[in-house]
Amino acid sequence: MKYALITGASRGIGRATAISIAKMGYCVLINYQTNQEAALETLRQVEELGGTGELLPFDVSNENEVDEALMQWEEQHQGSYIEILVNNAGFRRDSLMIFMKNEDWNQIINTHLNGFFYVTRRLLKSMLTKRYGRIINVVSLSGLKGLPGQTNYSAAKAGVIGATKALAQEVAARKITVNAVAPGFIQTDMTAELDENQLKGMIPMGRFGKAEEVAETIAFLASDKASYITGEVISINGGLYT
């Protein structure tokens, strides 16, 4: 059995990614923090399509929770390792910087940037030993362009982009690729409060993207077909920013 871990897989891009990677023959580990009902729905959809999966709850921003959950999983799956990691967990706390609270800054940095570090570092040793791995980080247009009202989110995602490029060079000789996808406006819970009719006028393709369109790009980067692609950030934004 081959395993893939998708953090924040209970909904949106994470759920669509779990489904896409399950179709590749992987047992998908569906990470979530609190919404077990939504995570179970992801698992149901994976199994409905003939795939396999497991729930793996932990808070990516909590180093101890990450280590304990992954150590326990390894003990229960002797001889196996997680060869695909999709760092997707995240949320927004938007505000102009002058009004931004410390906790809104810290929570975003801890979840997106520190979460990437805690989970990736924990799984990297096995990938290096086995001489194979795929790491895909879900970043954002905000991390490339910067968006007003998102200095915390932009900083966190830009940090992950820099880490993606650096780590890719560290591990390439061991046949581990590290890439990122940078979605623009995608129809998910995270963008549900935005006025799509108003914003789609800014997008050359004239619409928001779908979670499945992001997921299929992630699945490609996780496949052997992308074995010579590493350190890249692929924008998925309908031409909004190039």
Q: Where are the domains of the chain?
A: 3-236
Spatial distance between the Cα atoms of 160 and 116, rounded to a whole number of angstroms: 7
The reported pLDDT for the residue numbered 97 is: 97
Mean pLDDT to the nearest integer, 223-237 = 98
pLDDT tops 80 at residue 190? no
The residues annotated with a catalytic role in the active site are: 153
Spatial distance between the Cα atoms of 89 and 119, rounded to a whole number of angstroms: 11
Q: Measured between alpha carbons, how far is residue 234 from residues 28, 148, 182 in Å?
A: 23, 22, 6
CATH number listed for the domain at residues 3-236: 3.40.50.720
Q: Chain-wide mean pLDDT for the chain?
A: 97
Instruction: Label residue 22 by pLDDT band (50, 70, 90).
Output: very high
Spatial distance between the Cα atoms of 208 and 24, rounded to a whole number of angstroms: 26
The reported pLDDT for the residue numbered 189 is: 80
Helix axes 115-130, 151-171, angle to 10 degrees: 10
pTM, to two decimals: 0.96
The reported pLDDT for the residue numbered 193 is: 79
